Amino acid sequence: MPEGALAGRVALVTGAARGIGAATALALAEVGADIVIADVTAPEAAAEVVAAAEAQGVRVVTLQANIADPAAAAGVVNQAIERLGRLDVVVNNAGITRDNLAVRMSVEEWDLVISVDLSAAFHVSKAALRPMLRQRWGRIINVSSVAGVMGNAGQANYSAAKAGLIGLTKTLCREVGSRGITVNAVAPGFISTSMTAALPEQVLSAAIAAVPLGRAGTPQDVAAAIRFLALPEAGYITGHVLHVDGGMAA
């Protein structure tokens, strides 16, 4: 891992108070990036992440916002630049689930997941691209899912949103590549988080049985892939979907 490879760069990670987002913020701090943690929860919820990132010697800013609101998303980007001077890396990680069979899924369940898991990434990316285009350098990394590649029963809203992120990734890469900006996605599989920890043992066992590597992934597994895509060494990779799924979608 190139020490200090992102020194002087600023990275915005959405949904970074816990799970994959928190691990990503720390992974980017480890290579020298100053970090903006954006989350819908109060800043205090990210206190542990902030302390660990600051221990790496980088600056850390926490912002509370509902980025499904276009104005709030733009505000996060503007505040990041105002407080840290620039913006170089965006990790669109914020996401929720509201699982249900399609025939039972309410309009509210559909709209909420689409707004948080897909539309928010568009709003943040749109705002972030303006400064990135001016500086002719940037990294946008969208956190999709194996569900967006394969589909998953009971997750029509989530799968559609995550598939939409892949389409967004591939389109943006074509629009901004000439300005030195790469746009990629990661597609995690079954990852151990607080959300999966609440699943019944039978469901957990079945999920792990579907993974060729025979184990659940960790937030750190996903964060390492995201960090790689943010590094200068990954500058010729764009429009790519990097699977971090233990072989689930092989």
Q: Any idea which residues carry the catalytic annotation?
A: 158
Taking a C-beta distance cutoff of 8 angstroms, is the pair 129, 52 a contact? no
Strands 89-92 and 241-244: unpaired
Q: Helices in 137-218 by DSSP H: which ranges?
A: 147-150, 156-176, 194-197, 201-209
**Helix (H), strand (E), coil (C) string for 208-231:** HHCCCCCCCECHHHHHHHHHHHHC
Q: Which amino acid is at 218?
A: T
Distances in Å between the alpha carbon of 35 and those of 26, 59, 169? 9, 6, 22
CB neighbourhood size of 51 (10 A): 10
Residue 172 structure tokens: 């943006």
Q: Which amino acid is at 213?
A: L
Taking a C-beta distance cutoff of 8 angstroms, is the pair 213, 250 a contact? no
10 Å CB burial of residue 221 (0-12, 13-18, 19+) is buried
Beta bridge partners of 143: 186
